[in-house]
Structure 1
Amino acid sequence: TITTVYNYEPVPEELSEEEAKYVIGVQANIWTEYIPKWEYVESLLFPRLLSLSEIAWTSADRKDFEDFRQRLPYHLDRLDQMGVNYGKDPFQVAIAMQLKKGQQQVSLSTELPGLQIRYTTDGTEPTISSTLYKEPFGCTKTSTIKAASFVNGRLMSEISSVDYLSHKATGKRVAYENEFNAKYDGGGDFGLVDGRFGFEESISFAWQGFVSPTMEAIVDLEEITAINSISAGFLSDQRQWIFQPDQVIFEVSDDGENFKEVFDRKYSDSRTESVIQEVVRPTADDLKVQGRYVRVRAINHTPIPDWHAGVGKMPWIFVDELVVE
């Protein structure tokens, strides 16, 4: 995105003043052996190059993304007049979920300011007559939220869509035995219970990444609750050194100290070479138990096998949502 490019700092802060002088500029490379048309090249270059150009000549202390956003529409008008087929990323609607006092709040935004955002919560495609977004809104039931941006009644973006699941653990407090990696926080402290599922194609959306051999988290449901099912999603992406855990355990407790095991499964195929990329969702059904606390443990007993470039290292554990029904 233009935001990601703009936030790039060509001179790393850990360099001394003497070392920094050797950073003489920036460049943007694009390999075109799989790009059949020049129009597509343009859509990948612009408007990202506008961000890159500005950070190339602007010192870190003078960078101002909000000011850049306000100036961007004028540059897009110029690109229109020049016939440049720039990408429509700045018009794309980002759908985000926050938790406010334990309740899901959905917010919608675009990189380009001043756009009309229209949305639906029933899975239908948004049109110019759909609800106009003004401020974050509540999401208290399982919903498919779709949104798009409009200018003068004309659709300017692709349809953004996110499925949100509301369940008994949604928005509840999570205690972690070991911390998730800051680069892959899945939405922060509530990432395991924010109603968002990850998907195979992106390791940065909704996934929490753990580099320790064991991932362990406890959800406080706040009161003794009838529990019929527990599930969690785990990602395998061997190219990223992310493997399915060797073992997954679910437990329930009334007091947060004495836990009863309700699910324990070992996976003999978790290091199989043929499994390149997939999402596995271990599920304990028909439990008919009660408890206030639910604990999930994912364990890596074995390192990355010898057929992989990371042989001998312990793989990552990536988990998206702990669902309690």
Structure 2
Amino acid sequence: MNPFAYARPGSVDEALRLGSQPGARYVAGGTNLLDLVKAGVETPRLLVDVSRLPLAEVTALPDGGLRLGAMVSNTDAANHARVRERYPLLAQALLSGASGQLRNMATVGGNLLQRTRCHYFYDLGFPACNKRKPGSGCGARDGINRIHAILGASEHCIAVHPSDMCVALAALEAVIVVRTTAGERRIPIGDFHRLPGDTPQCDTMLAPGELIVAIDLPPSPYAAHAHYLKVRDRSSFAFALVSVAAALELDGNRVRSARLALGGVAHKPWRVPAAERALAGRPLSAHSAADAARLLLDGAQPYAHNAFKIGLAQRAVALALQVASRQTGAQA
């Protein structure tokens, strides 16, 4: 394992000063980063432990929304009364991830920064990985690519985003609050994660040294009719082959507005506003759900072993919408 220094700052300002040093990485729960460090995939010079910073509160916002401090654990976020009441979609997504032990350690800020999922990226035995070594090639394109992307991929990378939480955040239109040495900036969740393009080594829009301090959830009309559906190879401690965050605002059986996001299919949570507009103003039916799924999957390009994801995603969208339409409150 690569040797590194360790520091535990006492304030956000001190963390920013330390985090701006070359080779520095922030660590909180460490449930993803430390695995990568042990495997030699990540080689930080300095780990800046931000787990003790005062960023572990869930607070109401003046506009009726909710702020999750970056150090709130996944468990505490999922079980918080206001999250369960106002954002059951998020609670369901969090509780579907990993295991109870990992959720107790993982933080919502760290969850945003999980590296994309790909066997060829995580295993140094495979030399070809543009995410680890730009220009070396993508082993997954002609390799075993059952788990890989069918949307938004590039010739340089077909890895998939692994987070369940982020799929729900995409549907809920969350905003990521980031501190820098120059002040604060706010990044809509749809802009936070990147598609691979020709720089697959960059998973997010964060600049070096920037620190996530909170996630802001806007007021939501979707508490009564929301469902997170995760399709995976086993019922626990498994990543999604396909997941769907479905949220509906209903007037009787007619959809007033909808939010849909897919996981397990792209380098970032996948949301297509046209698919949501296809549902608005129509009764929810098998036909309208199929229209939405078709628009969500438009342009999908499968590889040798993952063409099944297209049909799987279409059926998952239809089922998630059907279940969401029957919900009448928090179901986490």
Higher relative contact order (CA 8 A, sep 6+): 2
| Larger Rg over CA atoms | 1
Scaled by the length of structure 1, the TM-score of the pair is: 0.24
TM-score, normalised via structure 2 length: 0.24
- Structure number having the greater helix percentage: 2
Structure (1/2) with the larger strand percentage: 1
